[in-house]
Amino acid sequence: MTNSANHHARVLQDKQYLWHPFTPQQRWIAGDPTVIVSGSGCYLIDDQGHKYLDAVSSLWTTVHGHNHPVLNAAIEQQLKHIAHSTMLGLTHPTAIELARRLVSLTPKPLARVFYSDSGSTATEIAIKMAFQSQQHRGHLRRTKFATLVDAYHGDTLGAVSVGGIDLFHHTFKPLLFNSLALPAPRSPGGEEERDCLTRALEMLDAHAHELAGFIFEPLVQGAAGMKMHSASYINTLAEHARSKGLLLIADEVAVGFGRTGTLFACEKLSFSPDFLCLAKGITGGYLPLAATLATEAVYEDFLGLPEEGKQFFHGHTYTGNPLACAVAIASLDIFEQEQVLEHTAMLTETLGQGLAQLKTRPWVSEIRQHGVLVGIDLCHPDGGELHPSTGHKVAMASRPLGAILRPLGNTLVLNPPLCMTRAETLQLLKITDDACAEVFAGVP
Ligand SMILES: *Cc1c(COP(=O)(O)O)cnc(C)c1O
């Protein structure tokens, strides 16, 4: 069969059998989906041999690039020993080693690693741990959580309950517990942020007695459309919440592993959280794995004789999977051995220079950047209403030009692998710019 006949057959079967996440299936079925068969560095390669720059790191996961020899070898090596063994009642060396490494790399009070397998479970676990910890401490009325407006912490029901993206979440309202959504700005440092902070502090004061914890995405609210706030905004809010007895949950599922320029965003903050949620980039983008880190003080709330029933009643079957832990360790080795954060600083600068150019276009209202995380807000050049699918159209137009983008509504997102070269970055910015020009040439 020719490449194209092969593609056609595959796509028919996709449309017959699959149901894609977050996808309007009717539009999907009407289209011609791209079928990715391999990857190399910052490129994805389809079944007809076309190469695309992976502008969003395969949904914010890929760190050192696709098909990385060191990461491949780590999985092959582990596979010679065992692919999976349970963490319930047993342990294994790769889970132990990765936990030791994570504790040594994160702020000091974080001392314990609880594994799971996705960002949603990482936050769900932190929420349940914080709640149970408050219960063990006798704070029985602390049953709710403070969050930020437009928060995204995952798609399981607990994570959705502390989420605030109406489009994703409103359908499930009757199934959720109530949270207190604190105002958060769209971009850092201005009048809007000062106003948000004042109102957020008042809300915390009014509700602190019923709050078990405060969960937040430090510095960048990714799925909200790369909304950003200053370190001083989250420092003030978190320290105030802590002074009122709340436990602090930092969700670094999106911002962790170098995306903001430091290994973890919380290195830029004046406080250490009680919980740190990690997923997406933890395995370099290779396998599903997540970790919820907790302080020793929280851990001690769960100590007691078995008959006291104080243990944390939660666990996932594939928790701490050895293959995933092995590749996560190899990814940390690469961070240490290949000056990844130095390269990230260069990438951040190149992005910033190129974005300055894009900012002058009549269809761009605002660009926000922190490290390699970028949000480009599109607008109607004449100030009119922009069709809600415009971001999607730009992403589709960028594909024949050689890039895979995935926007959030009418905010274009760039979040490249940290290994992207200067030349690839400039090419990606040019494709983004050209795709916009093409789409906006047709906007009435
Ligand atoms: C992606 C994301 C999650 C959810 O992670 P999944 O692995 O998709 O469940 C949670 N929090 C943040 C900040 C995220 O960006």
**121-169: pLDDT as tens digits:** 999 999 999 999 999 999 999 999 999 999 999 999 999 999 988 777 7
Q: Given pLDDT bands bounded at 50, 70 and 90, which one contains residue 1?
A: low
The span from the CA of 59 to the CA of 73, in Å, is 23
Burial state string for 317-350 with b = 16 or more CB within 10 A and e = fewer than 16 = ebbbbbbbbbbbbbbbebbeeeebeebbeebbeb
How many whole angstroms separate alpha carbon 281 and alpha carbon 441?
A: 37
Of the candidate CATH numbers 2.60.260.20, 3.90.1150.10, 2.40.160.10, 3.40.50.80, the domain formed by 34-64+340-440 belongs to 3.90.1150.10
Residue 388's pLDDT band (boundaries 50, 70, 90)? Answer: very high
pLDDT at 165: 83
Mean pLDDT (whole number) for 348-364: 97
pTM, two decimals, is: 0.97
- Can you tell me the distance from the alpha carbon of 3 to that of 401, in angstroms, rounded to the nearest whole number? 20
% the chain with pLDDT above 90: 96
Asked if the model's pLDDT at residue 46 lies above 80, the reply is: yes
Task: Name the more confident of 443 and 29.
Answer: 29
Write phi, then psi, for 221 (nearest 5 degrees). -90, 95
User: Cα separation of 289 and 299, whole Å?
Assistant: 21
Compute the distance between CA of residue 321 and CA of residue 290 in angstroms, rounded to an integer: 10
Confidence at 439, pLDDT banded by 50, 70, 90: very high
Rounded to the nearest whole angstrom, what is the distance from the C-alpha of residue 417 to the centroid of ligand 1? 17
Q: Whose CA is nearest to atom 15 of ligand 1?
A: 254
Measured in whole angstroms, how far is the alpha carbon of residue 214 from the centre of its chain?
18
Beta-strand pair 290-295/275-278: antiparallel
What's the pLDDT tens digit per position in 258-273? 999 999 999 999 999 9
What number is the average pLDDT over the span 224-248? Answer: 98
Pocket test residue of 56, 153, 215, 234 for ligand 1, highest count of atoms within 8 A of CB? 153
- Tokens coding 34: 């791209």
Residues forming CATH 3.40.640.10 domain(s) in the chain: 71-337
User: From ligand 1's centre to the CA of 309, what distance in Å?
Assistant: 30
**What is the per-residue DSSP string for 162-208?**
T---HHHHGGGGGGSPPEEEE---SSSSSHHHHHHHHHHHHHHHHHG
What's the CA-to-centroid distance between 329 and ligand 1, angstroms? 21
46 sits in the region (left: phi over 0; alpha: psi -120 to 50; else beta) called: beta
Ligand 1 proximal residues by C-beta, below 6 Å = 118-120, 123, 152-154, 217, 222-223, 251, 253-254, 279-280
402 contacts: CB under 8 Å, gap ≥ 6: 50, 51, 52, 53, 427, 431
Residue 290 Cα to ligand 1 middle (Å): 10
pLDDT the model gives residue 334 = 98
DSSP state, residue 360:
T
What pLDDT digit, counting tens, does each position of 65-79 carry? 999 999 999 999 999
For the CA of 119, the closest atom of ligand 1 is 5
- Say which DSSP state 247 is in: E
Q: pLDDT value at position 157?
A: 94
> Within 230-308, where are the H helices?
231-243, 296-301
Neighbouring-strand partners of residue 251: 277
Closest residue to atom 5 of ligand 1, CA basis: 119
DSSP 56-83: THHHHT-SS-BT-HHHHHHHHHHHTT-S
1.10.3720.10, 3.40.640.10, 3.30.360.10, 3.40.50.2300: CATH of 71-337: 3.40.640.10
Rg of the Cα trace of the chain? 22
Q: Distance between CA atoms of 370 and 347, rounded to whole angstroms? A: 11
pLDDT at 111 over 80: yes
pLDDT tens, residue by residue, 330-348: 999 999 999 999 999 999 9
Given the CA of residue 251, which atom of ligand 1 is nearest to it? 13
323-326, Cβ contacts within 8 angstroms, sequence gap of 24 or more: 323/75, 323/78, 323/79, 323/83, 323/84, 323/287, 324/117, 324/283, 324/286, 324/287, 324/288, 324/289, 325/92, 325/94, 325/95, 325/97, 325/98, 325/115, 325/289, 326/74, 326/75, 326/77, 326/78, 326/94
Spacing, Cα 387 to ligand 1 middle (Å): 27
What amino acid occupies position 201?
A: L
Q: Mean pLDDT, the chain, as a whole number?
A: 97
pLDDT, tens digit, 9 for 90 and up, residues 168-183 = 778 889 999 999 999 9
